[in-house]
Amino acid sequence: MRFTSPILLALPALALAEQQVPLVDKIKGLWNKVSDSVSSAVPAAPSPLHTAAAKAAEHIQHELTVENWKEVLTVDPTVSAPTTQDWLVYITGGNSTCFGLCGNTTKAWNTSLPALAARSSTPKFAIVDCDAEPILCNSWSIAPPSLYYFQIPKPLADQSAPTPSVRYFPLNRTSTTVETFKTLVVDREFEKKDPYEGFWHPFNGPLQQYGVAYYAGYAIWAFSLMPTWLPMILISFLSRQFMGRRAAATQPQRGAAPPAQ
């Protein structure tokens, strides 16, 4: 099978210029060719480039679940402290959580990963499918498509460590491209956003500290499965019960003596 994608045609040129072209220029050239290939792709049928990129992405990223994410999002144990490990987590979904509209962002993500992973200093990559892991997504209070950028410090000898830094980036379902991820990671655009320190912080939020994040995520997920008419019926039933008891309490009891004249 013969491929004629811009990336494959550019590989011989990159090989010949390996000793003359600086690494940064190589990466920029690769990004330009990847971006051109994505913009010229036909949406009706996936190209061999996108298929190959998706297969390559499977080997680059870690798949997070509600059971393993705390073990995966860690620092390399062979590295000496103090150090920080960056993690870039892509949050996607299917028909249930993304209404079938995450295809464009997922295509751009898969195409970006090989070029991102080729850099000398790069974060580790992970993916969360909210259709498959609704409890994890709800325990983090996130929705697809989006990104979570983690900076996780390695604990010191006394097991103390600064709070992991997290930044949340919602993605546009139609305008996200390879350039979006390049700007965020290669150009360090993520540093311009303030870290999230709120109630749903995956590591140090109150829900995580008190060990109830899983149960909160499960409750939110279960509530989302309820039909829209059921809460209305429950509210109507409870209000009727309340009003009925209140009316009964205000009526005079039978057989009670009349008030004194």
Q: What is residue 17's predicted lDDT score, i.e. its pLDDT?
A: 43
172 located within any domain: yes
Report how far residue 95's alpha carbon sits from residue 38's, in angstroms, rounded to the nearest whole number: 23
Using the 8-state DSSP alphabet, how is residue 40 labeled? T
256 located within any domain: no
Q: Show the tokens assigned to 238.
A: 């409870």
Condensed to tens digits (0 to 9), the pLDDT of residues 61-85 reads: 999 999 999 999 998 877 777 788 9
**What are residue 86's DSSP bridge partners?**
151
235 located within any domain: no
CATH code, domain with 60: 3.40.30.10
Q: How many domains does the chain have?
A: 1
208, 141 in Cβ contact below 8 A? Answer: no
181 located within any domain: yes
261 located within any domain: no
Q: What is residue 170's predicted lDDT score, i.e. its pLDDT?
A: 96
Cite the beta strand spans of 133-261 per DSSP E. 146-153, 165-170
**What are residue 124's DSSP bridge partners?**
87
pTM of the model: 0.69
- Choose from 56-60, 89-93, 223-227 the range with maximum mean pLDDT: 89-93
Q: Show the tokens assigned to 28.
A: 């920029």
Report how far residue 132's alpha carbon sits from residue 123's, in angstroms, rounded to the nearest whole number: 24
- Mention every residue, 6+ apart, whose C-beta is less than 8 A from residue 153: 75, 81, 82, 83, 84, 161, 162, 164
Report how far residue 104's alpha carbon sits from residue 248's, in angstroms, rounded to the nearest whole number: 60
The answer, yes or no, to whether residue 49 has pLDDT greater than 70, is no
176 located within any domain: yes
Q: Show the tokens assigned to 72.
A: 């995966």
124 located within any domain: yes
Q: Is 159 helix (H, G, I), strand (E, B) or coil?
A: coil
Q: What is residue 122's predicted lDDT score, i.e. its pLDDT?
A: 85
Cite the beta strand spans of 2-108 per DSSP E. 61-63, 84-92
The answer, yes or no, to whether residue 92 has pLDDT greater than 70, is yes
Q: Show the tokens assigned to 243.
A: 């009003």
* H or E element at residue 167: strand 165-170
Q: What is residue 238's predicted lDDT score, i.e. its pLDDT?
A: 75
Higher pLDDT, 125 or 53: 125
1 located within any domain: no
The answer, yes or no, to whether residue 126 has pLDDT greater than 80, is yes
Q: Show the tokens assigned to 223.
A: 């509530």
* H or E element at residue 206: helix 206-209
Q: What is residue 8's predicted lDDT score, i.e. its pLDDT?
A: 42
Distances 30 to 52, 55, 57, 237 between C-alpha atoms, Å? 16, 19, 16, 63
Q: Which domain holds residue 201?
A: 6-222
Q: What percent of the chain has pLDDT over 90?
A: 49
